[in-house]
């Protein structure tokens, strides 16, 4: 991923399966990622947890391991309202050793950071950005309009299928699961969109759609993306295909289907010397 030219790394997000990992494993992952990155790009670390005390411990560890910021999605068991959500963030933010990026992820948390809450966040210097994975571009444009008031506030988009338009219309970047597979594609799409090279944007966006449709479409249901991505990475020789609970690795029929799709996409196993 680093060789692909990414501007930063977000570890312990949703594709990183953070909520499925033990706290000890999350800490080990932060350590090892910090060592590998070695300051070449900023490392962002997810601290989302249903327990604030646990979130704070992970944040402390992230600070010790050289993270640039921590990332927080809303609480995802108890159904808080917006005022409660904001007060919760306010109580947390003063305890954090690092700047905070908010992470809007309603499909998994049931709860959004609504535009009015983002307006408040923009007034807090400790909060330095938002990753929006809602897939709701009307929402995105509303918060982009608010974020324009603060030039150092980073606006990132989650679903890679939306990277093109988000960057064309105001986002600073994206956090793309597919960039684990072919990082240079997403880097190039980001650059083309930021530079306003529309023909390139359309060509690269079309390939992003091809990859997303193929790789995330082998299996139906909630494990389509994580399971598909891990299966593909495993076939390319990059990592194991074993997801965390409650998911499980693709079976042999799904694996064969994925191999055929990767071949059609021209994605081939990485030679060991490359990474």
Q: What are the residue numbers of the active site? A: 103, 131
**Partners of 132 in the β-ladder:** 104, 157
Residue 247, helix vs strand vs coil: coil
DSSP codes, 89-111: HHHHHTT-SS-EEEEE-HHHHS-
The arrangement of strands across the sheet holding 154-157 comes to 9-11, 43-46, 69-72, 100-104, 127-132, 154-157, 173-174
Cβ proximity to a second copy: between 97 and 217 the closer is 217
Question: Half-sphere exposure of residue 250, counting CA atoms within 13 Å on the CB side?
Answer: 30
d(CA 225, CA 223): 6
Beta carbon of residue 76, minimum distance to a second copy (angstroms, whole number): 6
Quick one: which of 178, 229, 128, 131 has its CA closest to 6? 178
The two tokens of residue 167 are: 């960057």
**Site residues, a second copy (CB under 8 A):** 14, 17, 19-25, 50-54, 57, 74-81, 84-85, 87-88, 91-92, 107-110, 135-138, 141-142, 145, 159, 161-162, 164-165, 168-169, 196, 198, 201-202, 205-206, 209-210, 213, 221-223, 226, 244-248
Cβ proximity to a second copy: between 39 and 151 the closer is 151
Beta carbon of residue 43, minimum distance to a second copy (angstroms, whole number): 22
Cβ proximity to a second copy: between 172 and 247 the closer is 247
Beta carbon of residue 226, minimum distance to a second copy (angstroms, whole number): 7
Cβ proximity to a second copy: between 39 and 77 the closer is 77
The two tokens of residue 72 are: 């927080």
Beta carbon of residue 69, minimum distance to a second copy (angstroms, whole number): 21
């Amino acid at each position: 991923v680093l060789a692909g030219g990414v501007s930063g790394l977000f570890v312990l997000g949703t594709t990183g399966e953070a909520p499925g990992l033990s706290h000890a494993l999350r800490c080990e992952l932060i350590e090892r990622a910090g060592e590998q990155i070695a300051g070449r790009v900023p490392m962002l670390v997810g601290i989302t947890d249903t327990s604030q005390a646990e979130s704070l411990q992970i944040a402390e560890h992230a600070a010790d391991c050289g993270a640039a910021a921590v990332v927080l999605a809303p609480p995802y068991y108890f159904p808080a309202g917006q005022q409660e959500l904001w007060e919760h963030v306010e109580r947390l933010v003063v305890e954090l050793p690092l700047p905070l990026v908010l992470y809007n992820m309603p499909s998994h948390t049931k709860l959004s950071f609504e535009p009015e809450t983002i307006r408040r966040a923009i007034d807090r210097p400790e909060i330095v950005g938002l990753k929006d994975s809602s897939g709701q571009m009307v929402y995105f444009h509303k918060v982009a309009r608010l974020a324009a008031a603060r030039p150092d506030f980073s606006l990132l988009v989650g679903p890679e299928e939306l990277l093109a338009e988000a960057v064309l219309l105001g986002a600073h970047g994206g956090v793309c699961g597919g960039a684990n597979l072919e990082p240079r594609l997403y880097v190039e799409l980001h650059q083309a969109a930021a530079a306003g090279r529309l023909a390139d944007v359309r060509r690269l966006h079309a390939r992003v759609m091809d990859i997303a449709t193929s790789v995330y479409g082998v299996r139906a249901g909630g494990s389509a993306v994580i399971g598909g991505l891990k299966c593909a990475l495993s076939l390319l020789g990059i990592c194991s295909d074993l997801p965390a609970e409650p998911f499980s690795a693709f079976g042999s029929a799904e694996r064969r289907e994925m191999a055929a799709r990767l071949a059609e996409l021209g994605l081939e196993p990485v030679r060991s010397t490359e990474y």
